[in-house]
Structure 1
Amino acid sequence: MVRLTAWVSGTVQGVGFRAYVRSRGRRLGLVGSATNLADGRVEVIVEGPRADCQTLLEMLRAGHTPGRTTQVTYSWSPPSGDLLNFVRK
């Protein structure tokens, strides 16, 4: 189990991006959140098996999402265990 935190830049607010991430995350059995940030990015935090988190990360990086993704930065860390569902904020 791991925690993935990704920051997605581009046209990712107001285009259904967070709903897309939530849907894909749930299908993979992940828990987490997708949150709009004041600077126009979306922060994605997910926890689950590393392979499933990696799959979601590749979906974010591939650019086949609503809107237009220009950059994805990310970090891996141990899971905190405080996430119980997948929410968009």
Structure 2
Amino acid sequence: MKRVHVEVSGLVQGVFFRDSCRREAQSRQVSGWVRNTRGGTVEAEFEGEDAEVDALVAWCRSGPPHASVQRVDTSDVPTTGSTGFEIR
């Protein structure tokens, strides 16, 4: 089990990134949250089995079809035991 904080830069707002991310997370049984930032990035935290979290981070490197991801920054954070996935 692990939890990571992710910040995705590029054309990632207004392209259904958050909703697509939520669907991807739910399909992988990953919990956490995703939100837009005022700076134009998308920020998220993912918690779950290592391989599933890694797969979701890998998905963030391309995102949904209309996104143009330039950069994905990740950092490990302590697990919280969260359940479910929400768009904030």
Does the TM-score normalized on the shorter chain lie above 0.5? yes
Structure 2 unaligned runs (5+)? Answer: none
TM-score, structure 1 normalization: 0.90
TM-score, structure 2 normalization: 0.91
Distance 1:27 1:44, change over 3 A: same
Identity fraction in percent: 31
2:64 paired with 1:50? no
In the alignment, is the contact (CA less than 8 A) between 2:17 and 2:63 conserved in 1?
no
Instruction: Give the aligned partner of residue 86 of structure 2.
Output: 87
2:85 paired with 1:78? no
Show structure 1 runs of 4+ deviating over 6 A: none
Structure 1 unaligned runs (5+)? Answer: none
In the alignment, is the contact (CA less than 8 A) between 2:31 and 2:47 conserved in 1?
yes
Instruction: Give the aligned partner of residue 15 of structure 2.
Output: 15
In the alignment, is the contact (CA less than 8 A) between 2:28 and 2:52 conserved in 1?
yes
Aligned residues: CA RMSD:
1.1
SS at match of 2:40: coil
SS at match of 2:39: coil
